[in-house]
Structure 1
Amino acid sequence: MASDGESTEPGTLRPGGRTARVRAAVLDAAGDLLAEAGFDRLDLAEVARRAEVGKTTVYRRWGTPSGLVADLLGDMAEQSAPRTETGSLDGDLLANADLVRRTLADPRQGPLFRAVIAAAGTDPRAAEALHRFYAVRVAEWAPCVRQAVARGELPPDTDAEEVVRSVSAPLYYRLLTTGTPPDAAAAERAARAAAAAARAGVFAAAGPEPAEG
């Protein structure tokens, strides 16, 4: 597929038409290659070959493997499943934990995230893209904690984002330290532990320093 003559920064491509089809094909190919071979072997020429896109198009639009990863993660954040609302804190956090579990256990998504996390340790642009991805996902789920505060389930000054992070953190830790995706029992433990800690005020804002006598 030949170049279409456009010059656009990653993540700012216009929706619809050939541009969108090219971007979708390239990001799909990049995700497959990341999952198969890791960040170190993410070759733009190979991505172009798999996507059936001209190499000049890929090099011009994304420039580097880091630029491609940044756009891929941005797209994944936009396409991620929406937040589940169950009407209870426990149910909402369990839904979040189960979504993380299923993502990490997925034969394509799991290796892809491991590759990007590894890349973030050495590549600043990959790290920035990963941070943006998780900022979007945490912001998507934080309202379930705020709703629990409004229902009186949690202290009023609970840090919603920290509660959400505390759900997924042990699941990622299990994956990274054992190489084994978390199972349903691990997801349930993570959700219950986060809910219990939130109710106990662990994630509430610190109060004022006591006055010195």
Structure 2
Amino acid sequence: MSSEQMEPGTVRPGGRTARVRSSVLRAAGDALVEHGFDRLDLADVARRADVGKTTVYRRWGTTAGLVTDLLADMAEQSLPRTDTGSLIEDLRANARLVVKTLTDPRQGALFKSVIAAATCDERTAEALHRFYATRIGEWAGCVDQAVERGELPAGTDAAEVIRAVSAPLYYRLLASGDPLDGAAADRAAEAAAAAARAGAYIA
């Protein structure tokens, strides 16, 4: 199977191909922020990226394929998790990173568009699930270390703890409209830590 026939996001190209991918994904993100998934158009993305339409259609094929690769790239570019040696400080760092991302004018709007698209497009939903699985898997390490240090009971489900940190923050973004700030981040981290210490997340 040639690289251009492979699933978007599975190739680690170099040189001009990498530059084209970067330009197209940036353009796709801009278009999503401006217009949303419903109005995402491959020809418009090609124009924004200053590349040929045939290149975009051949490599990504569909808007869902393009968003899939965009999410893969976002996972690749995400900051590594913090390792402070303290569960609560690690969870606070995680929560503050979530808030920083969701309140960023571009990133926040981009996530809203992708989440909205995932509700009606199965391929986008799968890509979004993979993105979050990657991020949760990385941050789950701080919970596993807390178990090893004796901060949390044995058998604590690390992924569930990380989900508990971010869930109320996404609720504020998508449902309630309540402020997303440092206080909300710290509250989410502290609540998840307290529940984990009490054994709420023992598998």
How does the TM-score come out when normalised to structure 1?
0.91
**Pair 1:76 & 2:74 matched:** yes
Structure 1: 5+ residue runs without aligned partners? 1-5, 206-213
Q: 3-state SS of the aligned residue for 2:4?
A: coil
In the alignment, the residues of structure 2 paired with residue 82 and residue 194 of structure 1 have an alpha-carbon distance, to the nearest angstrom, of 20
State the Cα distance separating 1:180 from its structure 2 match: 5.7
In the alignment, the residues of structure 2 paired with residue 8 and residue 153 of structure 1 have an alpha-carbon distance, to the nearest angstrom, of 48
Q: How does 1:54-69 map to 2 (within 5 A)?
A: 54-69=52-67
The equivalent position to 1:32 in structure 2, one of 24, 30, 33, is 30
The equivalent position to 1:140 in structure 2, one of 138, 141, 158, is 138
State the Cα distance separating 1:14 from its structure 2 match: 3.9
Q: 3-state SS of the aligned residue for 1:85?
A: coil
| Conserved 8 A contact 1:13-1:19 | no
User: 2:41: which partner in 1?
Assistant: 43
Please list every run of at least 4 consecutive aligned residues from structure 1 whose deviation after the TM superposition is greater than 6 angstroms: none
In the alignment, the residues of structure 2 paired with residue 25 and residue 79 of structure 1 have an alpha-carbon distance, to the nearest angstrom, of 15
State the Cα distance separating 1:36 from its structure 2 match: 1.3
1:179/1:34 CA distance change after superposition, 3 Å: farther
More helix by share: 2
In the alignment, the residues of structure 1 paired with residue 179 and residue 126 of structure 2 have an alpha-carbon distance, to the nearest angstrom, of 24
Q: Deviations over 1:127-156 (max 9, x none)?
A: 000000000000110000000000000011
| One-letter amino acid matched to 2:148 | A
Cα RMSD after superposing both structures: 1.4
| Conserved 8 A contact 1:35-1:111 | yes
User: 2:197: which partner in 1?
Assistant: 199
| One-letter amino acid matched to 1:56 | T
In the alignment, the residues of structure 2 paired with residue 54 and residue 34 of structure 1 have an alpha-carbon distance, to the nearest angstrom, of 19
Larger Rg: 1
In the alignment, the residues of structure 2 paired with residue 14 and residue 132 of structure 1 have an alpha-carbon distance, to the nearest angstrom, of 18
In the alignment, the residues of structure 1 paired with residue 117 and residue 177 of structure 2 have an alpha-carbon distance, to the nearest angstrom, of 17
| Conserved 8 A contact 1:101-1:181 | no
Q: 3-state SS of the aligned residue for 1:148?
A: helix
State the Cα distance separating 1:13 from its structure 2 match: 3.2
| One-letter amino acid matched to 2:44 | E
1:118/1:181 CA distance change after superposition, 3 Å: farther
State the Cα distance separating 1:160 from its structure 2 match: 0.2
| One-letter amino acid matched to 1:149 | V
How does the TM-score come out when normalised to structure 2?
0.96
In the alignment, the residues of structure 2 paired with residue 12 and residue 159 of structure 1 have an alpha-carbon distance, to the nearest angstrom, of 29
Structure 2: 5+ residue runs without aligned partners? none
Question: Number of aligned pairs?
Answer: 201
